Structure 1
Amino acid sequence: MAYLDTGNLLCTLLDDATLQRRELARRRAGVLRLTSGRVVACDPFVNHDRAPFAGPAVAPGAYPVDVIAHRDMPVLAALWLRDPAGIDAATLQWSPALLPGQDAGTLADDRFFGYPVDAGTGCFMDADAAEAIAQRLAQEEDPHADYYNHVVAGEMRGQTLDHYPMGDGSAHNVVMFLSGYGDGSYPSFWGLSADGSPVLLVTDFLAIEGGDGRDAETIRYDAYVDGLTPEHADALAKLHAAVVADDVDALRSLIADGPAAANDVIPGVGGTAIFEAIRLDRPQALEILLAGGGLPPVPAVALGGISGYADYARRLKKPRSAALMGIIEAARTAPPGPTKEAAAGETRAAGLLSRLGRWLGRR
């Protein structure tokens, strides 16, 4: 089917806290004055005379424009035709914004009709604003003047600009924004309510997927952290503190009694207690954490792209101590240590055998 990332489009409706968690942020770009109701999305410096979209009808009025930014760069632009607080995301239908003569049914997989960008900027404007841009450019004495360098460059100091070609207070404006990470062709989509009326228009600059600015590694890590119980997270924090302090007694107690395990990823750290013991060069701590077993695989949810503990220790700029490297080399050929569940089972079994022996001795 044709390109449609509903996760991207729906993220325009997320609250600010959820956006921040996804490494995104909302910014108000301006308020668009629609005098005719004919909406244009284009590169204002290259094709400001682009045709307006072929419906649906939009009533003249003033409508806010937001951008969703990732690392300070707009990745989505939303023209709000209705108060976002009153929009039911669950019932929204998405329809490609098309020019007259375009047919979405002719599009192959992941194809779309978009507007071309050659000056790194997109915009929303009313069709009437094109004439205002032409009039403003005609006022320049240089016959070779271009709109960006001779008109807008002095105004656009950030990623967005609410620009009035004929000056503040005039009838027409153009709400501009940088187009994601550069030039290209970018699609727009109407968000339609259950009755088919337009509630917003979104341009997708194809810079994120699924409405999330995080990479796959960070998404996995955050999901892992969200799944930890408060008790487990607290135990991992204490385990980390014990490694940092090189408190071997606390480490033994935590490993034996707490829910935390040596190869669990520690929230806020991104690595495990084993990783931290290697990073901080704590031979005694590492020996306790490994419990005489081999080096376990690095958990998939760990951050940093580490392929293995031994490789990490060898690649550090400052060589680790001979004591720590000796423990690592010995652990490379040893079988993995017992899991917490297995260790608990062995303890229970030992207790049962001891009680059985005492009972037999009394017979």
Structure 2
Amino acid sequence: MTLLPIHDDRWKALVNDIAEWHFADGQVLRYRLFTVNCGELWLKSGRLIACDPFATLQPRDNPEVAVPPGVYPVVATVADTSDELDGSQPREAYLSVILSDKPAVGWRFLSPIPPGMALPELGDHEFIGLSVDENTVAFADADAIERLMPNPDEIDWEFELFDSGEDDAWQARLNDPAELREGLVNIALPNAQDSENIILSYAGWGDGSYAVVGTYADDGTLTGVHIDLAVLPLAPLPEWD
């Protein structure tokens, strides 16, 4: 497995600090980065889905990546992009599942694919992106989705679950600042018996195709899976040597 080095001036997931970039034309850009604890994600199958929940989530055969089974904290890294750094223009920069507290020393692209599909041959700098069409990304466990989401032939997910007009609809809760914050929400799946859940986040600047990134410790341990929402000026990723 080829790992690329993490450059601290380019990779800013899980950072709480002022980040500053100087460009060749003399421009200086400053963002205030802060993290939001999104609670824990039920991942006991080890089959991690990263998706746009409102556009691409399916009852089964969702693109997934393999991780050690467990229950893991999820953290959003938000960038205040306002000129005054007054908090008026927050943009979600990363959504991260934290798998280990070991220091990360390298990274590589992860390409979520449906179960049973062969991963195409990709170069070190190529990946299958996460397509976003409804300004939202999410993490969930594939087994939990398959077991607990209602049959879409019987219940219309969009009009009865996602955007029903009720306060407990997923869209309403995502937009509610009384949740984790506006744009971030941890939702129990229907009929959850073991705290199975899905964690949703706005997608930074909006719709697009985004990289899913794995970070690794020096012993090869996968320390985290991150959706890089290409908010930072040198995004989506650190340049490779």
Does TM, normalized by the shorter one, top 0.5? yes
- Aligned counterpart, 2:63: 51
Q: Alignment partner of 1:46: what SS?
A: coil
1:187 aligns with 2:185: no
Q: Find 2:187's aligned residue among 159, 163, 166.
A: 163
Quote the Cα distance in structure 2 between the aligned partners of 1:61 and 1:208: 30
C-alpha separation in 2, matches of 1:122 and 1:143: 16
Q: Alignment partner of 1:130: what SS? A: helix
Q: Which residue of 1 aligns with 2:107?
A: 94
Q: What are the within-5 Å matches in structure 2 for residues 158-237 of structure 1?
A: 158-166=182-190, 170-210=194-234
Q: Give a deviation string over 1:57-80, Cα, whole Å, max 9, x none.
A: x33221111111123221111110
Displacement of 1:147? 3.9
Amino acid at match of 1:102: L
Alpha-carbon distance, 1:30 to partner: 2.7
Indicate how the Cα distance of structure 1 residues 17 and 208 shifts in structure 2: closer, same or farther if over 3 A, else same: closer
Q: Deviations over 1:131-166 (max 9, x none)?
A: 2563176774x6873642023133221111111121
1:73 aligns with 2:96: no
Q: Which has the higher helix share?
A: 1
Q: Tell me by how many angstroms 1:194 deviates.
A: 1.6
Distance in 2, matches of 1:82 and 1:51, equals: 23
State TM-score, norm by structure 2: 0.69
| TM-score when normalising by structure 1 | 0.48
- Check 1:4–1:206 CA distance in 2 against 1; reply closer, same or farther (3 A cut): farther
- Quote the offset at 1:210 in angstroms: 4.0
Distance apart, 1:188 and its partner CA: 0.6
| Aligned AA (1:166) | P
User: Which of 18, 35, 38 does residue 29 from structure 1 map onto?
Assistant: 38
8 Å contact kept, 2:148–2:192: no
Which of 116, 119, 122 is equivalent to 1:105? 122
Which residue of the partner structure matches residue 42 of structure 1?
51
CA spacing shift, 1:126–1:81, aligned 2, 3 Å? same
Aligned counterpart, 2:238: none
The aligned runs of 1:1-363 (5 Å cut-off) are: 7=8, 10-14=11-15, 16-18=16-18, 22-49=31-58, 50-53=62-65, 55=66, 58-71=67-80, 72-83=90-101, 87-89=102-104, 92-98=105-111, 99=113, 100-103=117-120, 105-106=122-123, 112-132=127-147, 134-135=149-150, 140=155, 145=159, 147-150=161-164, 151-156=169-174, 157=176, 158-166=182-190, 170-210=194-234
Runs of 4+ in 1 over 6 A off after TM superposition: none
Q: Secondary structure at the match of 2:173?
A: coil
Alignment gaps of 5+ in structure 1? 212-363
Task: Give 5+ residue unaligned stretches, structure 2.
Answer: 21-29, 81-89, 177-181, 236-241
Change (3 A) 1:189 1:4: farther
Looking at structure 2, the residues matched to 143 and 67 of structure 1 have their Cα atoms a distance apart, in angstroms, of: 26
Stretch moving more, 30-39 or 159-168:
159-168
Of structures 1 and 2, the one with the larger relative CO (CA 8 A, separation 6+) is: 2
Kindly tell me: are residues 66 and 152 of structure 1, through their superposed partners in 2, closer, same or farther at Cα, counting changes over 3 Å?
same
- Structure of larger gyration radius: 1
Letter matched to residue 122 of structure 1:
V
CA contact (8 A) 2:52 2:134 kept: yes
